[in-house]
Structure 1
Amino acid sequence: MQKPQHILVIRLSAMGDVAMGIPVIYAFAKAHPEIKITVLSKPFFKAIIDTIPNLHFVAAETNTQHKGILGIWRLSRQLKKEGITHVADIHNVLRSKILRFFLGLPNAKINKGRAQKKALTSQNKTFFKPLKTTVQRYVEVFEHLGFSEISPAVLPRPDLNHNVHKVIGKATHKLIGIAPFAAHQGKQYPIDLMKEVIQKLDKLSGIHLFLFGAPNEKQLLHTVTENCQNATVVAGTLKFPEEINLIAQLDIMLSMDSGNGHLAAMYGVPTVSLWGVTHPHAGFAPLYQEAHCLLSDREQYPAIPTSIYGNKVPEGYEDVMRTITPQRVVDKIASLV
């Protein structure tokens, strides 16, 4: 294969998957500064891609000008003007497959290990062992393009953003982020237990809590932090690039099996993650944070993991995360402070 001069990296969704790609792309970019890298993703994720300097970003407008077969063809014409020589498809979905076909360039694609993941989530559980991590699978894509010895690297923490500084203030406390929400209920810690965790943490000395969430979750976060003296709700108050900057300043992040945990891990922030019907064996633990994963009780709920993404909750498995006690979460965080 001809040596790549300009690599297009494709990862269209989701937030956590994009964030998991950053330490791989960053390590590759440092090792090969002579190669131009363009990343194709959805517009919202530009803030994540921009954490790596000197990368070129192209927005995939999948709901408008790049929608459907004609839109993908239009996108391919746009990308060909960039002088791309090779494609690293770390998504490998129908849209990216069609785009690779239209581009007609040397390429490598991710092997998602779908058969093993299907076996891992089967109800009979004859197969239960750690699979390759998603980050490892990303590395393999670059290896298939002819590169070896890529060791994923966490990003250096950025300078404090002005608006983030106004939120943090001059606090000398340890900064703990809490991201209590997830895309699916099957991997979201019960809100009443999370409230107990927050109130217990609020009583610890020398820390300050920052609560992350979508703007429409702001009111609920204010409810769970009522009467807390050392908690700030940042949901709906900062722009996404500013939230990333705040996450990079944290001393600890508490998250679900969700995107915020991966955003923290890409900066090397110690990340405590809580797991419900999903399991780290599927390969989605935050980078270098496997030791901080708190798991639901598989002896009581042996079908875990019931799905890869947390969207399948069998009858009787609605309360799996209640086997992770609030005190266990608090003790884990306290041990890292």
Structure 2
Amino acid sequence: MSSKTITQDKVRGPILVVLPKFIGDAINTLPAIAMLRSLYPEHSIHLLARPYMLEVLERAAHYNIELIADNRYCKEHKQGMFSFARTLRKTKYAMAVLFRGSIREALLAKLAHIPLIIGYAQNGRKPLLSHALKLNECHHYIHRYCRLVNDVHNRPFSHFELPSLSPRTIALPKHIHKTAVYVGGKNKGTRHYDVAKSVDALTCIAKSTETHFYILGDPSESEDAARLSQALTKNKVPATNLAGKTTLGELVDTIAAMDTMISIDSGPMHIAAACNVPCLALVGLGTSPWSIVRPLQNNLIALESPSTSMVEHEIINDISPEMIARQYIALLDTPKS
């Protein structure tokens, strides 16, 4: 780690924060952004995010940040690396905090002539950073992001706060109990929970509770969601299929309006956590170790697969519907904190 400490008087301009490319990871940067805001209450803090993510981050306005679309990934008005760096250069950023470990982000900040560039020394980008930290891969993702702010400022914070989103209020039919369900589709690979087993689990839950299920998913998951919805209707289980029918901002608002959620390890799971919605997380083989991505809210129950299978996509499916139903009943006794 660089021995140089950044003091607030050295930062005489706006601050650029480069976000990760996935929703759950971006949500996990919010505690570090809160630290930045505390250190620099009068500075403009600009969050550079992929365009698809902006609607979600609009629900983080209470962090007093400004959102910038990363035009390198815009479908319209797309800019290349050098062109976009020239665009950023006009703002005269004093500091950049890179929450994504790609060399492209470090190069972008360098080309934008930002004098202070903070990031982890990975992927060959150390020479591009003014403050390069060594990554501890055992740290939780939130801890990793907070270190990038805390360590270079001489560690003024002893703890971080949990991520939070401020959803917009939406009107939903009045049900005794509303539960969002997100089990993914085939596009989620080893994280996808089988549709037939999902039907069995939700049918079992419906027999012992008065629950209305809201099935969530993106357009690419509509086919799997439709199969789930049709099977539940056949079993006379109350359900509404919203897969592919909401924007990402509306997805946040919908999840926040729920009493509980059942989800695989995913962006929607992190949205539920940031909205303080009690969540039952189905955990199989993920894209990162569960211990470093698990939401830290107390109202989350993690149902980790007991599988001994050597077939990766079967690991999560060794969580039985009966196990899900039992843990869901326990979740009903877990109020919003």
Identify the TM-score tier after normalising by the shorter chain: 0.7 to 0.9
SS at match of 1:52: helix
**Deviation per CA, 1:236-284, whole angstroms, max 9, x where unpaired?**
2222211111112222221111111111111222222112223644511
**Deviation per CA, 1:46-66, whole angstroms, max 9, x where unpaired?**
012211223211111224655
Structure 2 residue ranges without an equivalent (≥5): 1-5, 124-136, 333-337
1:222 corresponds to which of 221, 226, 232? 226
* Root mean square deviation, CA, Å: 2.8
- One-letter identity of the residue aligned with 1:56: E
Report what 1:312 is aligned to: none
1:106 corresponds to which of 111, 116, 136? 116
In structure 2, the CA distance between the partners of 1:30 and 1:144, relative to structure 1 (3 Å rule), is: closer
The answer (yes or no) to whether the contact 1:157–1:249 under 8 Å persists in 2 is: no
- One-letter identity of the residue aligned with 1:180: V
In structure 2, the CA distance between the partners of 1:97 and 1:318, relative to structure 1 (3 Å rule), is: same
In structure 2, the CA distance between the partners of 1:94 and 1:31, relative to structure 1 (3 Å rule), is: closer
- One-letter identity of the residue aligned with 2:177: K
In structure 2, the CA distance between the partners of 1:43 and 1:51, relative to structure 1 (3 Å rule), is: same
The answer (yes or no) to whether the contact 2:51–2:73 under 8 Å persists in 1 is: no
SS at match of 2:27: helix
In structure 2, the CA distance between the partners of 1:109 and 1:236, relative to structure 1 (3 Å rule), is: same
1:285 corresponds to which of 281, 294, 306? 294
In structure 2, the CA distance between the partners of 1:247 and 1:29, relative to structure 1 (3 Å rule), is: farther
Report what 2:317 is aligned to: 322
Report what 1:116 is aligned to: none
The answer (yes or no) to whether the contact 2:18–2:97 under 8 Å persists in 1 is: yes
Q: Does 1:72 align with 2:75?
A: no
SS at match of 1:253: strand
Alpha-carbon distance, 1:86 to partner: 0.7
Report what 1:199 is aligned to: 203
The answer (yes or no) to whether the contact 1:271–1:286 under 8 Å persists in 2 is: no
In structure 2, the CA distance between the partners of 1:66 and 1:88, relative to structure 1 (3 Å rule), is: farther
Report what 2:90 is aligned to: 81
In structure 2, the CA distance between the partners of 1:100 and 1:29, relative to structure 1 (3 Å rule), is: same
Q: Partners in 2 of 1:144 and 1:72 — Cα distance?
A: 29
Alpha-carbon distance, 1:144 to partner: 3.5
Q: Partners in 2 of 1:46 and 1:318 — Cα distance?
A: 32
2:305 corresponds to which of 274, 296, 301? 296
Percent identity, aligned pairs only, is 19
- One-letter identity of the residue aligned with 1:264: A
Q: Does 1:175 align with 2:178?
A: yes
1:20 corresponds to which of 13, 28, 33? 28
Q: Does 1:44 align with 2:52?
A: yes
Alpha-carbon distance, 1:106 to partner: 0.4
The answer (yes or no) to whether the contact 2:21–2:49 under 8 Å persists in 1 is: yes
Q: Partners in 1 of 2:30 and 2:239 — Cα distance?
A: 29
SS at match of 2:59: coil
- One-letter identity of the residue aligned with 2:183: P
Report what 1:266 is aligned to: 274
Report what 1:93 is aligned to: 102
1:134 corresponds to which of 124, 141, 144? 141
What TM-score does the superposition give when structure 2 sets the normalisation length? Answer: 0.79
Q: Partners in 1 of 2:23 and 2:268 — Cα distance?
A: 8
Alpha-carbon distance, 1:111 to partner: 6.4
What TM-score does the superposition give when structure 1 sets the normalisation length? Answer: 0.79
The answer (yes or no) to whether the contact 1:47–1:240 under 8 Å persists in 2 is: yes
Report what 1:9 is aligned to: 17
1:251 corresponds to which of 235, 251, 259? 259
- One-letter identity of the residue aligned with 1:87: A
Q: Partners in 1 of 2:19 and 2:243 — Cα distance?
A: 26
Q: Partners in 2 of 1:326 and 1:112 — Cα distance?
A: 41
Alpha-carbon distance, 1:201 to partner: 2.5
Alpha-carbon distance, 1:112 to partner: 7.5
Alpha-carbon distance, 1:31 to partner: 6.6
SS at match of 1:97: helix
**Deviation per CA, 1:86-140, whole angstroms, max 9, x where unpaired?**
1110002022021122133202114689xxxxxxxxxxxxxxxx92111110111
Alpha-carbon distance, 1:324 to partner: 0.9
- One-letter identity of the residue aligned with 1:55: I
Report what 2:65 is aligned to: 55
How many residues are matched? 299
Structure 1 residue ranges without an equivalent (≥5): 114-129, 302-314
The answer (yes or no) to whether the contact 1:39–1:49 under 8 Å persists in 2 is: no
